[in-house]
A and B are shown apart, each in its own frame.
Chain A
Amino acid sequence: MRSWLFGVLLSQGAERAPDPELLAVATILHDLGLTQRYTAESRFEIDGANAARSFLKGRGISTQQIELVWDAIALHTTRSIALHKEPEVAMTHSGITADVLGAGLDRIPQDKQGAILAEFPRLALKNELKKCLSNIARRKPESTFDNIVRDFGVRYVDGYTSPNFADVVANAPFSE
């Protein structure tokens, strides 16, 4: 809810406004991949995007709109790409990073920030997110090669290892 509301506020006055319903759905559903029911074999963002796609099918929105929500959820932790995509993708990312990291809060009036946090308190989100992402690094390290979970694995999980891309390139089956 906080991410959604931060995304709504950050969208106001944007040069390209997102579809408000798609922004809502993407932000509300963005962490399905962290739940036991929807965790699968991929990185958690993709598991969540796939779960959201399944939820949206047959609900009267177009395939293109469903794929936009899929992209928004799949890319919600990948700032370097999300901000260059459609407004729904960019604002889903922006709302979530405002909530988790505080990014962009300087563009949201203090009274509105306070109202959101009062109605939907964070409830130790930092620590719980750390535990949750560390558990993913522990349970399916192969899915953490190229996402934010890798950093939690390196810092908090004993024995965690992840392939180094330099090694992957060096070990490619070519002579040069």
Chain B
Amino acid sequence: MVFAGITVPDTVLIRDAIDFVTKRIGAISLQPCDALLAIWRIAFTRR
């Protein structure tokens, strides 16, 4: 995989970890860190 021009390993584990923080955490209540978590999700989404 390449992010920001940097080549990183492309493994199932890494893809699962990215998926985990971008999708499965998405259903949670957003307190106490709602804004941070929203930013976090966006940050994992490439422009």
Contact A21 B9, beta carbon cutoff 8 Å: yes
Among B3, B13, B17, B36, the residue within 8 A (CB) of A34 is B36
With A21-B11, A55-B17 as contacts: A35 and B37 at CB distance below 8 Å:
yes
- Known contacts A21-B11, A29-B21, A120-B43; is-contact A36 B5 (Cβ 8 Å): no
Least CB distance, A5 to chain B, in whole angstroms: 5
Q: How large is the interface on B (under 10, 10 to 19, 20 to 34, 35 or more residues)?
A: 20 to 34
Stretch of A84-92, A128-136, A165-173 at the chain-chain interface: A128-136
Inter-chain CA distance A61–B16, complex, in Å, is: 13
Bound complex: CA A14 to CA B36 (Å): 32
Q: A21-B11, A128-B35 are in contact. Are A1 and B3 (CB under 8 A)?
A: yes
Q: Please encode chain B, from 12 to 47, with 1 for each CB lying within 8 Å of some chain A CB and 0 for all others.
A: 011011101100010011111101110110111011
Instruction: Please give, as numbers and ranges, the residues of chain A lying within 8 Å of B32 by CB-CB distance.
Output: 36, 39, 132, 135-136, 138-139
Could you tell me if A119 and B40 are in contact, using CB atoms closer than 8 angstroms?
no
Contact B21 A36 (CB under 8 A): no
In the complex, residue of chain A having the shortest beta-carbon distance to the beta carbon of B47:
A119
Q: Are B8 and A121 in contact (CB under 8 A)?
A: no
Interface residues of A (CB under 8 A from B): 1-2, 4-5, 8-9, 20-21, 24-25, 28-29, 31-32, 34-37, 39, 55-56, 59-61, 112, 115-116, 118-125, 128-129, 131-132, 135-136, 138-139
- Known A35-B37, A60-B13, A128-B36; further 8 A-B contacts with Cβ < 8 A: A5-B4, A5-B8, A24-B9, A29-B17, A32-B25, A118-B4, A119-B47, A136-B32
Interface residues of chain B, those whose CB is within 8 Å of chain A, are 3-6, 8-9, 11, 13-14, 16-18, 20-21, 25, 28-33, 35-37, 39-40, 42-44, 46-47
17 A-B interface contacts by CB (under 8 A):
A1-B44, A2-B43, A8-B6, A28-B18, A35-B37, A55-B20, A112-B4, A115-B6, A119-B3, A119-B47, A120-B3, A123-B42, A124-B39, A125-B39, A128-B36, A135-B31, A138-B32
